[in-house]
Amino acid sequence: MKKALQIVFLLLAHGGVAVAEPIPVTVQALGDLLVERELRAPATVVAANRAVLTSEVTALIDKVAADVGADVKRGQLLIQLDDDNARLALAQAQASLAALDAQIVQAKRRLARAEELLTKDFVSDDELIGRQTDLAVLQANRQGQLTAIEVAELALKRTRVRAPFDAVVVERQAQVGSFAMPGTPLITIVQTDGREVDAELDPRYATNIPTVTGLRFSSRGREWAIELARLSSVIETDTRRLRGRFRFTGEAAPVGSSGEIVWHETAGLVPVTQIVQRGTELGVFVARNDKAVFVAIPSAQEGRPAALDLPPETLVVSRGHTRLQHGDDLQVSRE
């Protein structure tokens, strides 16, 4: 009865025309409503290096010092090739050097004797020149023999295949007693330090990556802090994504771990709870001169926060907005 009397009173007060009461709503400045955008991108932990170590010499495989699954340190012996031929070649090169050194000593004595006899006219100038030439040839041969020794030492060194970095053995191709030639795969290792996170980034958000904070790699319920190492400037044609590499700032996730990189953009977004649908459009209601104004957000997606290009002081209807229509009168209160 009371409600009916109010309606009658309003009709009489406005010449028989019903006037809707203002709808009570609560408003809040847009800048106070905005939330951070959490972004994610698929990512995988990769090794800085994966190396297939091959033989550099021709020899039998004598020993396999590290098998699949073994953790190895830089410089650790992995494969020992038969070194008999390399040792014999080195010994022969060293013996040849010793012979040359003896010949050089003799050539120097003969040259000194010739120089002494030249002052007494007992030898000719041509003979002196010949002895000088003999010494020069022997000295040149000595330099060549030193090079031959270095080559033999290098061949001997190459019979011992060592780890070039800290790694784990993931595959062993070498078999004891097999014959290896230059290029024959022996063992495959994956570097354990210097791990990186490889991620595929949406180009729309990738440009902000260098400035964001709180980057992390998330996998199987765990998170690891990361930072940007490199960001490609080329969009890959097959995925239409930019590739980024990130390094761990502390503890590193295992190589091969798959997950996501997660970060927050400081540019705020309108919360999902403030976005409503009117007709086919998603948007928010703002209060202007005590009137409800629907502002569509073309980029909005259902169930996701959205960016709104309005001044931060804009009054957004934060409560009571779900029942509003564009143009409704408002009874505004501030939150």
- Domain CATH code at residue 197: 2.40.30.170
Distance CA 309, CA 307 (A): 7
* Residue 2: per-residue pLDDT: 45
* pLDDT, average across residues 80-100: 95
What's the number of domains the chain is made of?
4
First to last CA, the chain: 34
Task: Report whether 262 contacts 226 (CB < 8 A).
Answer: no
Q: Is the pLDDT score of 1 beyond 50? A: no
Instruction: pLDDT band for 12, please (50, 70, 90 cuts).
Output: very low
The maximal CA–CA distance of the chain, rounded, in angstroms, is 152
Q: Does 87 have pLDDT greater than 90?
A: yes
Does the residue 6 lie in any domain? no
Q: Using the predicted structure, report yes or no on whether residue 15 has a pLDDT greater than 70.
A: no
The answer to whether the pTM exceeds 0.75 is: no
- Is 118 domain-assigned? yes
pLDDT of residue 212: 83
Q: Which residues have C-beta within 8 Å of that of residue 42, sequence separation ≥ 6? A: 199, 200, 258, 259, 260
Please name the residue that has the structure tokens 């039998």.
60
Q: Which of 204-213, 245-254, 286-295 has the lowest mean pLDDT?
A: 204-213
Do residues 24 and 46 touch, judged by C-beta distance below 8 A?
Answer: no
How far is the C-alpha of 53 from the C-alpha of 45, rounded, in Å? Answer: 22
Contacts of residue 97, Cβ cutoff 8 Å, sequence gap at least 6:
142, 145, 146, 149
Q: How confident is the model at residue 128 (pLDDT cuts 50, 70, 90)?
A: confident
Q: Which residue has the tokens 């033999």?
A: 152
Domain termination site, one of 250, 267, 284: 267
CB 32 within 8 A of CB 311: no
Residue 3 lies in a domain: no
Question: pLDDT at residue 118 above 80?
Answer: no
Q: What is the pLDDT of residues 181-231, one digit of tens each?
A: 999 999 999 998 889 999 999 998 888 888 887 899 999 999 999 999 999
Residues 110 and 123 in one domain: yes
Averaged pLDDT, 265-284 = 88
Residue 107 sits in which domain range? 84-158
Q: Are 244 and 280 in contact (CB under 8 A)?
A: no
Q: Please give the structure tokens belonging to residue 187.
A: 């063992």
Calpha distance 154→56 (Å, rounded): 10
120 versus 309: the higher-pLDDT residue is 309
**Are 210 and 256 found together in one domain?**
yes
Q: Tell me what the mean pLDDT of segment 88-104 comes to.
A: 95
Q: What is the CATH number of the domain that holds 313?
A: 2.40.420
Examine residue 1 and state whether it is found in any structural domain, yes or no: no
Residue 5 within any structural domain of the chain: no
Is residue 226 a contact partner of residue 261, using CB atoms and an 8 Å limit?
yes
**Residue 313 lies inside a defined structural domain of this protein:** yes
Which of 40-49, 121-130, 245-254 is the least confident region?
121-130
Q: Are residues 145 and 201 in the same domain?
A: no
Neighbours of 221 (CB within 10 A): 6
Examine the domain organization and report whether 238 and 211 are in the same domain.
yes
Give me the residue label for tokens 């564009």.
326
Higher local confidence (pLDDT), 288 or 304: 288
**Has residue 152 got a pLDDT over 60?**
yes
Residue 267 has pLDDT above 80, yes or no: no
Residue 8 lies in a domain: no
